[in-house]
Structure formats: C-alpha cells, structure tokens
Amino acid sequence: MLILRTLAHEPLHGYAVAQRIRLVSGDRLRIPQGSLYPALHRLENRGLLRGDWTATSTGRDAKFYRLTLKGRRRLKEEVSGWRELSAAIALVLEGGPA
C-alpha cells in the first residue's frame, strides 16, 4: 500500500520510492532494497505497476514505476481496508482496560 501510495502522484525509480517513504514518514519508515525491489517486481507482475526504463538527469538508465488503472483501484481498496482496520484497533484500544 505504501509503495502504491507513493507512486500515486508521479512515476519514480526504486531508490526514489524508498527515499520518499522515508521522508514523508519523518524518517520512521525505511524500506531496505532487499525488500523494495522484490515488492516492485511483484506489483509489476500483478499489473498494478508499469515499469519503463528511462535515462535520468545523470545519464544513467533507471526503471521508473507508475501506477496502472488496476493499481489505482487496488490502492483505493487497500486504503479503505486500512482505515477500517485502524478504526477497529482504535475502538479496542480506547475501550479496553488501562
């Protein structure tokens, strides 16, 4: 869900995805490369992302990932599910004995 959300606004290469998540989370979330790249490939294989090789400003080629329509629908579902789960957990935390 975090990867899909990060790519919702613009295509990014893998390293930029990890950096954006780290930055937006206030340095609380760090995705190691050993987890990030397999996740990107799985999402691409499932048709949620499309990856295109593009030259960067440094002249090196990098694979930039973008959400597909299927990925946008999946993101919406994931966010909805997360909100429901978070609300249920909050109810238990607020209603349980201290």
CATH at residue 56: 1.10.10.10
- 39-76 pLDDT tens trace: 999 999 999 999 999 988 888 999 999 999 999 999 99
The residue range of the domain holding 78 is: 2-95
Distances (CA, A) of 49 to 21, 69, 73: 17, 9, 12
- 1-26 pLDDT tens trace: 999 999 999 999 999 999 999 999 99
Regarding beta strands 49-55 and 12-13, do their DSSP bridges make them parallel or antiparallel, or are they unpaired? unpaired
If one counts every other C-beta atom within 10 angstroms of the C-beta of residue 80, the result is 10
If one counts every other C-beta atom within 10 angstroms of the C-beta of residue 87, the result is 9
Number of domains making up the chain: 1
The pLDDT value recorded for residue 68 is 98
